[in-house]
């Protein structure tokens, strides 16, 4: 007997532009806050007396809460309505933003950032699932291209927007700007988007606890490794505990009746490799951005706004290139675009690391910044296309949730590992102690990206497929046959 929760529902047609805006605006807000604080970190170091370790927790509290809650948020969306969880996520994110703006010490700010991350977990994966379910198959490639461009833009212009706000106001305003966005996004989503459902299965609470605890233990051990010593019993025990919890999570997912992360999805080559690439891309790119955005201020003496403007050749490229890449993906293939994007990004970071110095003239950075921006753009939209290309609509929310989790883990681990490399090399937030410690960290990010480019060669070509071809079929069965990818 067919589960009525998966039966076709009457869909209310809505203008294409409104649907894309309703799905993308909250996602832009959530991705923006990945790196919107990077330009504020030196200021928070001065004003709050935050240590280097606390500075990275301002980033990682968000990404870890985000990553730890994405899978269960996707499952809750399937059971209680994707739009319902989407709107709740927007509201929680807005509340976290208010608390962050009102914070007066590092502990309060870290807690508020974690609440923002929980809200973002209800926004990011469900935005793509709601979008692909609301637009006709013929326009999905364009819709995903725009979504990818907006997603990339949110991450990329975070430092620019943060710097501009801080130049005119203060660091608290970085969070206040989310409030009006949330107030607009909630009614827009309720009016425009359908409240789609997936399989109304029992929520996998044990799986959620195992995954969140394992990830938190591993990242926390990496963050404290430099202070406590990598061979200290506490750090070693925490790493082993985290690894065991993650292994237990995978075993549980193989046995659970309604797993948060269906392991059968990984039988799909495109899905598996796209997740490896997504993790490596986030690890290498955003870990390096965390180091480089502070280089412009600490070493070159730029103000937060000046540093943000100086990175615009990098950060604005996704807005222009990613939608084009989304349209081209079915024609030239997702594999070509992803490999090219990863190579460009890795080469650009290698270039930057090689020329970094205490007296470097800014114009020398423009060419590698442009290269990095184009590389970033060529990864965003094709990744979403490759992720969902052979999966049915019923799997989109969980597939997107897995990918979002993997990407956020990449951001958290990339930031933690590169900070650990920086600190272990004697780095401090002082001009004469920054460059030599930053260089090996950025080279590490570049190496990870180039390795990911090699892995991406095993992707199916992705030519000639609809952006999400399988979802042209109504989701009235539990598993849909995949569309062949050449």
Domain membership of residue 485 (yes or no) is no
What pLDDT is attached to residue 157?
67
Domain membership of residue 3 (yes or no) is no
What pLDDT is attached to residue 166?
66
Domain membership of residue 481 (yes or no) is no
Q: Are residues 332 and 377 in the same domain?
A: yes
Domain membership of residue 6 (yes or no) is no
The residue count for the chain: 486
485 contacts 353 by C-beta, under 8 angstroms: no
Domain membership of residue 299 (yes or no) is yes
148 contacts 323 by C-beta, under 8 angstroms: yes
Q: Are residues 60 and 166 in the same domain?
A: yes
The whole-angstrom separation of Cα 454 and Cα 456 is: 5
Q: Are residues 440 and 348 in the same domain?
A: yes
The whole-angstrom separation of Cα 399 and Cα 371 is: 30
Domain membership of residue 477 (yes or no) is no
Domain of residue 419, CATH code = 1.20.1250.20
Burial string for 422-451 (b: 16+ CB within 10 Å, else e) reads bbeeebebeeeebbebbbebbbbbbebbbe
Q: Are residues 51 and 199 in the same domain?
A: yes
The whole-angstrom separation of Cα 164 and Cα 143 is: 29
What pLDDT is attached to residue 7?
41
Q: Are residues 311 and 437 in the same domain?
A: yes
Q: Are residues 236 and 198 in the same domain?
A: no
- Within the chain, which residues score under 50 in pLDDT? 1-10, 466-486
Q: Are residues 119 and 131 in the same domain?
A: yes
Structural domain that includes position 236: 205-255
SS (H, E, C) the chain: CCCHHHCCCCCCCCCHHHHHHHHHHHHHHHHHHHHCCHHHHHHHHHHCCCCHHHHHHHHHHHHHHHHHHHHHHHHHHHHHCHHHHHHHHHHHHHHHHHHHHCCCCHHHHHHHHHHHHHHHHCCHHHHHHHHHHHCCHHHHHHHHHHHHHHHHHHHHCHHHHHHHHHHHCCCCHHHHCHHHHHHHHHHHHHHHCCCCCCCCCCCCHHHHHHHHHHHHHHHHHHHHHHHHCCCCHHHHHHHHHHHHHHHHHHHHHHHCCCCCCCHHHHHCHHHHHHHHHHHHHHHHHHHHHHHHHHHHHHCCCCCHHHHHHHCHHHHCHHHHHHHHHHHHHHHHCHHHHHHHHHHHHHHHHHHHHHHCCCCCCCHHHHHHHHHHHHHHHHHHHHHHHHHHCCCCHHHHHHHHHHHHHHHHHHHHHHHHHHHHHHHHCCCCCCHHHHHHHHHHHHHHHHHHHHHHHHHHCCCCCCCCCCCCHHHHCCCCCCCCCCCCCC
Q: What is the pLDDT of residues 411-453, one digit of tens each?
A: 778 877 888 888 888 877 788 789 989 999 999 999 999 999 9
The whole-angstrom separation of Cα 273 and Cα 387 is: 9
Burial string for 209-248 (b: 16+ CB within 10 Å, else e) reads ebbbbbbbbbbbbbbbbbeeeeeeeebeebbeebeebbeb
Q: Are residues 184 and 220 in the same domain?
A: no
The whole-angstrom separation of Cα 349 and Cα 281 is: 12
Listed in sequence order, the residues at least 6 apart from 301 whose beta carbon sits closer than 8 Å to its beta carbon are 431
Q: Last residue of a domain, which of 217, 235, 255?
A: 255
Q: Are residues 214 and 341 in the same domain?
A: no
Q: Closest Cα partner for 130 from 396, 308, 385, 410?
A: 396
**How many domains would you assign to the chain?**
2
Q: Are residues 105 and 244 in the same domain?
A: no
Q: Are residues 249 and 297 in the same domain?
A: no
Domain membership of residue 7 (yes or no) is no
Q: Are residues 356 and 468 in the same domain?
A: yes
Q: Last residue of a domain, which of 239, 255, 271?
A: 255
Q: What is the pLDDT of residues 331-381, one digit of tens each?
A: 888 899 999 999 999 999 999 999 999 888 889 999 999 999 899 888 876
What pLDDT is attached to residue 472?
36
Domain membership of residue 406 (yes or no) is yes
């Amino acid at each position: 007997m067919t589960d009525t929760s998966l039966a076709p529902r009457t869909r209310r047609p809505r203008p294409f532009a409104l649907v894309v805006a309703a799905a993308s605006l909250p996602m832009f807000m959530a991705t923006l806050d990945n790196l919107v604080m990077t330009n504020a970190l030196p200021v928070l170091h001065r004003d709050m007396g935050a240590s280097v370790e606390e500075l990275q927790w301002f980033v990682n509290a968000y990404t870890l809460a985000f990553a730890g809650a994405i899978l269960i948020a996707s499952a809750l969306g399937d059971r209680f309505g994707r739009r319902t969880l989407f709107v709740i996520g927007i509201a929680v994110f807005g509340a976290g933003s208010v608390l962050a703006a009102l914070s007066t010490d590092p502990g309060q700010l870290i807690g508020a950032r974690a609440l923002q991350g929980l809200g973002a977990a209800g926004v990011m994966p469900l935005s793509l699932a709601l979008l692909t379910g609301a637009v006709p198959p013929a326009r999905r490639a364009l819709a995903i291209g725009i979504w990818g461009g907006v997603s990339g833009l949110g991450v990329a212009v975070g430092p620019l927007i943060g710097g501009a706000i801080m130049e005119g106001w203060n660091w608290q305003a970085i969070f206040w700007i989310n409030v009006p966005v949330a107030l607009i996004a909630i009614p827009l989503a309720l009016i425009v988007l359908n409240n789609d459902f997936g399989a109304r299965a029992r929520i996998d609470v044990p799986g959620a606890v195992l995954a969140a605890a394992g990830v938190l233990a591993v990242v926390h051990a990496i963050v404290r490794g430099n202070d406590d010593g990598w061979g200290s019993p506490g750090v070693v025990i925490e790493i082993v505990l985290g690894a065991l919890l993650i292994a237990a999570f995978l075993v549980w997912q193989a046995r659970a009746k309604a797993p948060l992360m269906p392991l059968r999805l990984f039988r799909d080559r495109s899905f598996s490799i796209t997740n490896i690439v997504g993790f490596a891309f986030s690890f290498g790119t955003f870990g390096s951005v965390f180091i480089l955005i502070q280089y412009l201020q600490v070493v070159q003496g730029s103000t937060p706004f000046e540093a943000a403007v100086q990175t615009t050749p990098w950060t604005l490229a996704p807005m222009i290139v990613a939608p084009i890449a989304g349209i081209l993906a079915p024609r030239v293939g997702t594999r070509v675009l992803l490999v090219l994007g990863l190579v460009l990004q890795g080469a650009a970071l290698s270039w930057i690391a090689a020329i970094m110095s205490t007296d470097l003239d800014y114009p020398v950075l423009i060419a590698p910044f442009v290269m990095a921006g184009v590389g970033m753009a060529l990864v965003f939209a094709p990744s979403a296309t490759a992720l969902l290309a052979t999966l049915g609509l019923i799997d989109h929310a969980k597939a997107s949730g897995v990918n979002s989790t993997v990407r956020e883990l990449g951001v958290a681990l990339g930031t933690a590992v590169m900070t650990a490399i920086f600190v272990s090399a004697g780095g401090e937030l002082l001009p004469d102690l920054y460059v030599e410690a930053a260089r090996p960290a950025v080279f590490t990010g570049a190496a990870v990206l180039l390795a990911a480019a090699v892995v991406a060669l095993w992707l199916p070509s992705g030519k000639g497929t609809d952006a999400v071809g399988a979802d042209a079929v109504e989701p009235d069965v539990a598993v849909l046959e995949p569309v062949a990818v050449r």
